[in-house]
Structure 1
Amino acid sequence: MKNTKKGILQLLFIVVVIGALSTVALVGVGKNKIGSAKKIKLGLDLAGGVSITYQTQKSNPTDTEMKDTIYKMQKRVENYSTESEVYQEGSDRINIDIPGEDDADAVLTALGKAGSISFVDPDGKEVINGKHVKTATAQTINENGMKQYIVSLTLNSKGAKLFGEATTRLAPNRESISIVYDGKTISSPAVQTAILDGKCQIDGQKSFEEADELASTIRIGALPIELKEIRSNVVGAKLGSEAMSKSLLAGAIGFVLVLIFMVTVYRIPGLAASIALCLYIALELVLLQLLEVTLTLPGVAGIILGIGMAVDANVIIFTRIKEELAKGKTVKSAIKVGFNKALSAIVDGNVTTLIAAGVLYFKGSGTVKGFATTLAIGILLSMFTALTITKYVLKAFYALGADDVKYFGTARESKVINYTGNMKKYLAISGCLILLGFAAMGYNGAKGNEILNYGLDFKGGTSSQVPMKDKITSDVKKDVEKAYAKIIGYTPSISEVRGQNAFIIKTQTLKKDKREEVQQMLVKDFGVDKSKITTESISGSVSDEMKQDAVIAVVISTICMLLYIWIRFKDINFGASAVLALLHDVLVVLMVYAVARISVDSTFIACMLTIVGYSINATIVIFDRIRENISERMTEERLAEVVNRSISQTFSRSINTSLTTFIMVFVLYIFGVDSLKDFALPLMAGIICGGYSSICITGTLWYTFKRKFGKLATK
């Protein structure tokens, strides 16, 4: 029996919620505009920020000292923003770029002065120094009902031994150990007991802010070499002022096209999904601001993947509903059963990707953390909107009279294709693509080039500060980019130094003739005073340690995903097949980078991580259907039949999900600036490859493993 009034109220409620959240996302709440999308922190690539340059006090620091200092500074500034960049400039300078800030003095105050620190006994003898300190954090504790503000210190093994010996000697008379920073005593806590485990507390701070300042001072002084701040600037967006506006335009167009596709293909369910996706977008924008996430291009990749997974969850549900309607069930029954049957695939797919996001966040650094944050938010929201909001809206439409099969459509009988029989053909195609990638890398190396086109983020280059004669405008910046590109063959990274009418232009290391040609161009075409151009060599912002962190994070997340799939599907062959399919997709995308000579920079990491998340989610859907169709006693022939039928049943889902995600990225490619195109092109290749591998590779791999290593019935 229809309940029109109830249906109207349900839809009205959702519309009001979407409207309220959209209003919050547009204008925010209160004087501070809490929740406003305009208040979302943007990274260096999209909005610029503060650039600080430090010089070492030591005249000739070693490479090891510089690398250790850069890595520790990277970890330190991540407390300020996960998207901060730290890299070497020249032989004795370290540059820190912190996004979304426009007050260099405030940032310097928050980071603290990078001097040297030591802990000395009453006789002035050094007990330990900064190199012995692992962590220093401010904490609030309750003791006898009273709040106390302390600094909690953790020392390394050598520091713990030295500190233990000193505190054992000083504790009987409660003598003090003074903390001396840059020659000044900043605290002199009394030693109350011998400290042997390398963990201690400094009490006596009057407020949490005072404790936090002391902790910051200890951390900044715990660097391998002493640093001195020599300059600070506010710089513009690395990708240019148009990057953000074009990204938003591309996102809006892509999203609208996805909604049109959903309504056209899935009718009333597609409309319900479109409403749920609007709520998804509004919620995501509000949460990004509330959680103070710094949004960069890799973060945008995480959002795109999240939207793709949100669409995918709805597609899985609607496919199940159509199948139930084809069996003759009523619309009400089909909706209920469809959601129930889709639940396991949605949960397993999203939880598997969420595991990867969690590991990437806790083990990764820099842009990897930013990607993991937006991906995790997207996963949680996609499950909520698909399983709750879409269902709620569908029931509202049903109450309004959408109870006829014609509003939903029915699943056609799937034509079963012999995927297992064509397995060798599929593997041959994949093998050729992967070999093409290795051949391209070999060819590049043989020609004297690097096997991949490593960009500034990976191998560094030169940074030039160029004072401009004419007032800097977006047109002037475009003209400089085009002039540089004609000479060096690619568009350099150009940021405006605000308040100085100057550009910071970063390129790969140029040969002498190219450097001279560039300088002549700047003098002739733009009236630049050649004597005022300053140039320094810079290291890659993605350090060896950050690369190592990223690799370790991917390896750990892959192992965790394998274990989860093994436990959930009760068959290690599923996990092994998923990991191999994932590796296949990554190698094919690597081939695109090698053949097209696309710049390998920080977006490369984001692209690869996106492919990993997309690939594993697509694979889970196939495996879920195989798990449903399989029986206890399986012969080899029956096993092949189950695999072929399962892949055929999920074929439309694989195509439709790939298509909707591809649309989002394709529009980004069409409307984006050059740097966005370099990001979108391999991502499109990865989406196509992910669709191909989920249909042709994963199921057949599992079939091969099961046939060779599993227990099958003889007849």
Structure 2
Amino acid sequence: MQFSPIRTAIIAIVALLGVLFAIPSFLPENVRDSWPGFLPKQTVVLGLDLQGGSHLLLQVNQDGIVSERLQSLRRDVRNTLANQNGIGNLITTDATGHALTIELTDPTQKPAAKAAIEALQNTVSNSLLSVGGVQELAFGETPDGKLTITLTQEGINERMSALVAQSIEVIRKRVDELGTTEPSIQRQGTNRVLVQVPGFGDSQRLKDIISRTARLTFHLVYPGMTATQAKAQGLPAGTMILPSQDGGEELLYDDVALGGESLVDAQPSYDQQRAMPVVSFRFDTRGAITFGQLTSANVGKRFAIVLDNTVITAPVIQQAITGGSGQISGSFTTSSANDLAVLLRAGALPASLDVVEERTVDASLGADSIQHGLTAGIVASVLVISFMVIAYGLFGIFANISLILNIVLIFGALSMLGATLTLPGIAGIVLTIGMAVDANVLIYERMREEQKAGKSPLQAINAGFERAWGTIIDSHLTQLIAAIVLYFLGSGPVQGFAVTLALGILTSLFTSYTVTLYFVGMWYRARRPKTLKIQHFRFIPDGTKIPFMKISRYVIAFSIVASLVSLGSAYFKGFNLGIDFVGGTAIVIQHDGGPADVGQVREALDGLNLGEVQVQGFGTPEDVLVRVQAQEGGQDADQVAVSKIREALATENYTIRSTEAVSGTVSGELAWKGVIALVISLVAILVYIWFRFEWQFAMAAVTTTTHDVIMTIGLFSLTGLEFNLTSIAAVLTLVGLSLNETVVVSDRVRENLRKHRKMPLPDLIDLSINQTIVRTSLTQFTVFLALIPLVIFGGEVIRSFTIAMTFGCLVGMYSSIIVNGPILINFGLKSRSETDDGKDGKTKSVGGASV
């Protein structure tokens, strides 16, 4: 109770910093710009679901890299053997697609050929700092004497990793050319790139610009033979056939006469003579010299400009072009010419990138999400604050001051860290509002007990804060474990939820204990009351003696039956899986002229031949959710399906508000990650509780938590609620909340084992539950007060999440109070009298305390 000036200063400094970092997020930009330079100006970064924008997850195409590398390796082998060493050969690609087979025309030259091709060995590294790298090629021989060169898997992986790093730089240049603000471009794993562009709602254009390779090459057209003739008579050596933009085909030399890497500028322009948009380009000095020599030596021949293996144009060289510049003409519009210029200025991607996940949110939908989140937050705050004042009077006001400071610190920390706030993140803050008062309720209830035990007000205050601290730490850390697992194994909005939840847990540890203690201490020193009037309202009276253990067999029987029903429903009926887990496309559309007609939308999409299409209402009468199964043609087919839906609904006055497309590959990974997250969370919590208590407490806690998870999963199966990524977040958060209550009861059981050594264990557990049930009912009610506004006002996007959380809290309270005790007994927990060793007078450890 004696607060030193240093502790007071720390509280004041932390509160001031929290306010300073939080305020900019709520001020207009012009006000922030006028602030003095020493004040923080960084704001909370809004996620795409709150401000609109596009999210693309791109994956390097391994087949394309292997094919291209084998093609270049084939040229190198042919040049090494035939041109440099005069060794005749026939090179083919083997069935695996990862190796070349070389058949020599003169088998006696095998040793020389072997030595020549082994000189082509190459080491690949994905980092400038790595030493040596890995060998890319493996050399061998077939049983019939042919030589083989195989691309090693290690070499392929290293090359892919290096290409991802190069791709990120190219993508960044392309996105910057679009003039967007604060794009996020990150590497994910070894072969993926995540691109998030806030405020850019044209996902189709973004995909075209980002995922196009934009590899520009210049080739001479093979003279005297057309592509059709070459197909009939056989391709001449060193040639290839490529499609042209006008629908035909061209026979070209496969050697690249000049590459696009020599370009230094590309700009959209307009050809006045032909009245058409074109792209003007300019080479660097070396490229200009090469271009001049090339055109000088081939006057009268056709010269093809090839972009991504498509011939854009193939004009006849009329005269030498020595100025180092030229034009690319084709069937361009003004927009496509501008986009091509952007691509050429930024450079070619070193590898093909496939879109494996796409999420686009319209700015208006983001504004609606913000409104939903703010409404839910304000209503939840008012309800929780009002309830705390009703229940605890002046002490409730102290708790509310800590709660408000807690919210300020969360926003301040989000701003300071530059963290992204998503709609599930707002839900995390709202949930924190309900959880934050949990510690204060625990402290106040402990103070009441100590005062009833005969202690003075000062002693009761000291004991209340001191003895509640261990339980507060245990309950908060179990929730923090779940949040950490969510962050590292989740993605996007789920990570946003994990960040706000973790920050809320950490800040509430500071505010609910230190700050509340400071205000209670100030009040006590000023008033010196004879007694403490702490609680004004309770749901359950003091001194209850409910015989929970007498009905335990019926409770366990009910839980077993309910769990079997849940598991049976999950196995036989299954789940209404979101596209996060099954792949496909989900599109939210809005009717511009009043309520949407679901039947009309379904009729408009029936003739598109897209497989299974689900159409249902989504929140407001104007909004409709369209879910389309993953198409057989892969990602490209999924994109075509979205375009067809867009065109079909454009004539019916429907606007697309958001698009979410997930490939089958990513959906499988997300499902597997969700299972792993749940298992890791349970194991980590088991280890922690085992360390803090005893193995019986740990096993009982994990058993009851598993029971709660099964019941909640059963809810998704039985009701048909959509099970998606946020559902995994709900289940993992439920793990933390359920354990919060279980830990409190277990802590009281452990304490009573020290006090009542002769009491039979069932009676001792009954006593512990009755002592904590007042606190449990109050804390659960405050969490409900925070969750109910989320269910009502949080919006359709997180509806299944909030319903699951609310149901899970009910089940968690039931299992912590009634189910946990019988399980403790069944796992062999002994009362103090049962653990006395009568033979040698020694004592044993029970519940973490020595006797």
TM-score range, shorter chain: 0.5 to 0.7
Query: Given the alignment, which residue of 303, 307, 314 partners 2:429?
Result: 303
Residue of structure 1 equivalent to 2:519: 393
Distance 1:397 1:459, change over 3 A: same
**CA deviation string 1:356-414 (max 9, x = no partner):** 33344334444443333222211111110011011111122223427253632499642
The yes-or-no answer on 1:98 pairing with 2:196 is yes
| 1:230–1:104 CA distance, 2 compared to 1 (3 A) | farther
Q: 1:61 to 1:458 in 2, by over 3 A?
A: farther
In the TM superposition, what whole-angstrom CA distance separates every residue of 1:590-632 from its partner, at most 9, and x where no partner exists? Answer: 1111111011122211211111111121211111111111039
Q: Note the C-alpha offset of 1:673.
A: 2.3
Partner Cα separation in structure 1 for residue 544 and residue 481 of structure 2: 35
The offset of 1:633, in angstroms, is: 9.0
* Greater Cα shift, 12-21 or 593-602: 12-21
| Counterpart Cα distance in 2 of 1:103 and 1:32 | 31
Q: Do 1:85 and 1:98's aligned partners in 2 also have CA atoms closer than 8 Å?
A: no
Query: Which of 628, 636, 644 pairs up with 2:766?
Result: 644
In 2, the alpha carbon distance for the partners of 1:698 and 1:606 equals 24
Over 3 Å counting, the alpha-carbon distance change for 1:676 and 1:698 in structure 2 is same
Residue identity opposite 1:338 in structure 2: G
User: Could you say if the C-alpha distance between residues 233 and 682 of structure 1 is closer, same or farther in structure 2, counting changes exceeding 3 Å?
Assistant: closer
Inter-CA distance 54–344: structure 2 relative to 1 (3 Å threshold)? closer
Pick the aligned partner of 1:50 from 48, 51, 54.
Answer: 54
Q: What CA distance in whole angstroms lies between the structure 2 residues aligned with 1:596 and 1:465?
A: 22
How far the C-alpha of 1:427 sits from its partner, in A, is 1.5
Q: Secondary structure at the match of 1:388?
A: helix
Letter in 2 for 1:425: Y
Name the structure 2 match of 1:150: none
Q: Which residue of 1 aligns with 2:499?
A: 373
Within 2, Cα distance between the matches of 1:566 and 1:420? 24
Q: Is contact 1:35–1:289 with CA below 8 Å preserved after alignment?
A: no
1:31 is matched with 33
The Cα RMSD (Å) is 5.4
Identify the match of residue 576 of structure 2 among 445, 449, 453.
453
The structural deviation recorded for 1:52 is: 4.9
Mapped partners of 2:578, 2:497: distance in 1: 19
Q: Are 1:274 and 2:403 an aligned pair? A: no
Q: Out of 279-288 and 552-561, give the one that drifted further.
A: 552-561
SS at match of 1:407: coil
Q: 2:788 aligns with which of 639, 644, 666?
A: 666
Map of 1:324 onto structure 2 = 450
C-alpha displacement of 1:113? 7.8
Per-residue Cα deviation, 1:229-278 (whole angstroms, up to 9, x for no partner): 99999742595531220221111111111011111111221110001000
Higher Cα Rg: structure 1 or 2? Answer: 2
Q: Is the CA contact 1:35–1:286 (under 8 Å) kept in the aligned structure 2?
A: no
**Aligned residue number for residue 276 of structure 2:** none
Equivalences for 1:549-564 in 2 at 5 Å? 549-564=673-688
User: Do the aligned partners of residues 380 and 458 (structure 1) sit closer, same or farther apart at CA in structure 2, a change above 3 Å counting?
Assistant: same
Letter in 2 for 1:27: L
Q: What is the alpha-carbon distance in structure 2 between the residues aligned to residue 465 and residue 258 of structure 1?
A: 34
Q: Structure 2: how far apart are the matches of 1:22 and 1:237?
A: 24
Q: Quote the Cα distance in structure 1 between the aligned partners of 2:382 and 2:665.
A: 36
Counterpart for residue 754 of structure 2? 631
The one-letter code of the counterpart of 1:694 is: S
Contact 2:618 2:796 in 1 (8 A): no
- Cα distance in 1 for partners of 2:49, 2:570 equals 28
Cα distance in 1 for residues equivalent to 2:262 and 2:475: 56
**SS where residue 592 of structure 2 aligns?**
helix
- Given that 2:696 and 2:829 are in contact with CA atoms closer than 8 Å, whether structure 1 keeps it comes out as no
Q: Secondary structure at the match of 1:640?
A: helix
- Alpha-carbon contact 1:44-1:238 (below 8 Å) kept: no
The answer to whether residue 384 in structure 2 is matched with residue 258 in structure 1 is: yes
Q: Quick one: distance in 2 between partners of 1:672 and 1:640?
A: 43
CA contact (8 A) 1:46 1:239 kept: yes
**Alpha-carbon distance in structure 2 between the residues aligned to 1:357 and 1:402:** 42
Preserved contact between residue 383 and residue 785 of structure 2 (Cα < 8 Å): yes
How far apart are the structure 2 equivalents of 1:692 and 1:98? 42
Compute the displacement of 1:440 (Å). Answer: 3.2
**Alpha-carbon distance between aligned partners in 2 of 1:349 and 1:231, rounded to the nearest angstrom:** 37
Question: Which residue does the alignment assign to 1:147?
Answer: none
Unmatched tracts of structure 2, length 5 or more: 67-96, 99-156, 173-181, 216-258, 264-345, 604-613, 632-640, 839-851
CA–CA distance in structure 2, aligned partners of residues 627 and 437 of structure 1: 32
- 1:312 aligns to what? 438
Higher RCO, Cα 8 Å, sep 6+: 1
Work out which of the residue numbers 519, 540, 543 in structure 2 matches 1:414. 543
1:680 is the counterpart of 2:682: no
CA distance in 2, matches of 1:231, 1:700: 47
Name the CA shift for 1:99/1:699 in 2 (closer, same or farther; >3 Å).
farther
Q: Is 1:575–2:698 an aligned residue pair?
A: yes
Q: Tell me how far 1:99 sits from its aligned partner.
A: 5.9
Give the aligned partner of residue 742 of structure 2.
619
Task: Read off the aligned partner of 1:526 and give its amino acid letter.
Answer: N
Q: Measure the CA separation in 1 of the matches of 2:660 and 2:378.
A: 40
Contact 2:757 2:831 in 1 (8 A): no
The structure-2 alpha-carbon separation of the partners of 1:104 and 1:623, relative to structure 1 and needing over 3 Å to count, comes to same
Match of 2:592 in 1: 476
Looking at structure 1, the residues matched to 54 and 24 of structure 2 have their Cα atoms a distance apart, in angstroms, of 28
CA distance in 2 between partners of 1:83 and 1:648 (Å) = 54
Distance 2:689 2:427 in 1: 25
Does the C-alpha gap of structure 1 residues 305 and 61 become closer, same or farther in structure 2, counting only changes over 3 Å?
farther
CA change 1:658–1:465 in 2 (3 A) is closer
| CA–CA separation in structure 2 for the residues paired with 1:409 and 1:629 | 24
Report 1:189-208 matches (<5 A): none
Look up the SS of the partner of 2:54 in the other structure. Answer: strand
Is 1:507 aligned with 2:511?
no
| Equivalent-residue separation in structure 2 for 1:686 and 1:32 (angstroms) | 47
Question: Could you tell me how far 1:293 is from its partner in structure 2?
Answer: 1.7
Q: Deviations over 1:201-233 (max 9, x none)?
A: xxxxxxxxxxxxxxxx99x86xxx622899999
Q: TM-score, normalised by structure 1?
A: 0.66
Q: SS in structure 2 opposite 1:417? A: coil
8 Å Cα contact 1:49-1:97 kept in structure 2 = no
Structure-2 change in CA distance of 1:333 and 1:438 (3 Å): same
- Give the match for residue 162 of structure 1: none
Give the 3 Å change call, closer, same or farther, for CA 243–233 of structure 1 in structure 2: closer
Asked whether the 8 Å contact 2:168–2:187 carries over to 1, the reply is no
Structure 1: which 5+ residue stretches go unaligned? 87-93, 118-180, 186-216, 445-450, 467-473, 495-502
Residues 302, 375 of structure 1: 8 Å contact kept:
yes
For residue 98 of structure 1, give the secondary structure of its aligned residue in structure 2: strand
Matched position secondary structure for 1:435: helix
Q: Distance between the aligned counterparts of 1:233 and 1:644, measured in 2?
A: 52
Superposed CA offset, 1:483-504 (max 9, x none) = 778874524699xxxxxxxx99
**Residue 546 of structure 1: aligned partner:** 670
- Work out the CA distance in 2 between the residues paired with 1:392 and 1:457: 47
Name the SS for the 1:490 alignment partner.
Answer: strand
The answer as to whether partners of 1:53 and 1:96 remain within 8 angstroms in 2 is yes
Give, in angstroms, the shift of residue 32 of structure 1: 9.1
Which is richer in helix? 1
**Separation (CA, whole Å) in 2 of partners of 1:263 and 1:56:** 57
What is the aligned partner in structure 1 of residue 44 from structure 2? 40
